[in-house]
């Protein structure tokens, strides 16, 4: 399964998907922000009920913006005939741009195509996909062509 419901992904992994395996011991214990690894200030944001993971306000807002703009982009694609048939769509382009601006704030300046692993350039036709890494589902990007080739390889 490559594409799953985005809202389910939100439920399962929330904003911290990209930090799994990356956070420090202090952050895992709730002493530091899981993103910037600094002491998270006076009003840290508690990310889970089950784990003591905290975020500082700035990181949280940045990550939230990145995630929400990704969902906007992804949500558009699912409901758009042009996007679903692999065409160039101005709305998708606009949402991608918004997402890229938000993602850049968190230091994510280069995006990679999940199927081929290559960086995506501005000229590439790219879509937002929920990607199955084999162990978990992550919000990701894919070249339209790579995604089509990948889908052909997976027996349904």
Q: Is 33 in the site for Zn ion (CB under 5 A)?
A: yes
The dihedrals phi and psi of 61, each to the nearest 5 degrees, come to -65, -40
Instruction: Select from 16-24, 45-53, 78-86, 94-102 the region that touches Zn ion (CB under 5 A).
Output: 78-86
Question: How many chain residues touch Zn ion (CB under 5 A)?
Answer: 15
Q: How far is the CB of 42 from Zn ion (least distance, A)?
A: 13
Q: Which two tokens stand for residue 106?
A: 């968190």
Q: How far, in Å, CA of 15 to CA of 152, rounded?
A: 30
Q: How far, in Å, CA of 132 to CA of 138, rounded?
A: 7
What Cα–Cα distance (Å) separates residue 13 from each residue in 7, 17, 19, 20, 145?
Answer: 10, 6, 10, 10, 27
Q: Is 127 in the site for Zn ion (CB under 5 A)?
A: no
- Taking CB under 5 A as the criterion, the residue among 54, 56, 126, 137 binding Zn ion is 56
Q: Is 47 in the site for Zn ion (CB under 5 A)?
A: no
Q: How far, in Å, CA of 2 to CA of 19, rounded?
A: 21
Residues 83-102 that bind Zn ion (CB under 5 A): 83, 89, 91-92
Q: How far, in Å, CA of 119 to CA of 36, rounded?
A: 24
Cβ closest to Zn ion, residue 6 vs residue 33: 33
Q: How far is the CB of 143 from Zn ion (least distance, A)?
A: 3
Residues engaged in binding Zn ion (CB under 5 A): 33, 35-36, 56, 59, 80, 82-83, 89, 91-92, 113, 116, 143, 146
């Amino acid at each position: 399964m490559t594409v799953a419901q985005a809202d389910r992904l939100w439920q399962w992994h929330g904003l911290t998907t990209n930090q799994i395996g990356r956070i420090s011991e202090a952050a895992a214990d709730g002493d530091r922000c899981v993103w910037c690894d600094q002491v998270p200030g006076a009003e840290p944001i508690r990310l889970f009920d089950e784990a003591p993971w905290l975020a500082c306000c700035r990181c949280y807002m940045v990550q939230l913006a990145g995630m929400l703009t990704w969902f906007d982009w992804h949500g558009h694609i699912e409901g758009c005939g042009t996007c679903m048939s692999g065409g160039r769509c101005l709305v998708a382009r606009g949402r991608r741009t918004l997402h890229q601006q938000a993602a850049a704030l968190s230091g994510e300046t280069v995006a990679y195509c999940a199927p081929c692993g290559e960086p995506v350039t501005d000229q590439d036709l790219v879509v937002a996909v929920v990607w199955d890494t084999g162990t978990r589902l992550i919000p990701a990007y894919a070249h339209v062509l790579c995604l089509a080739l990948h889908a052909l390889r997976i027996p349904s």
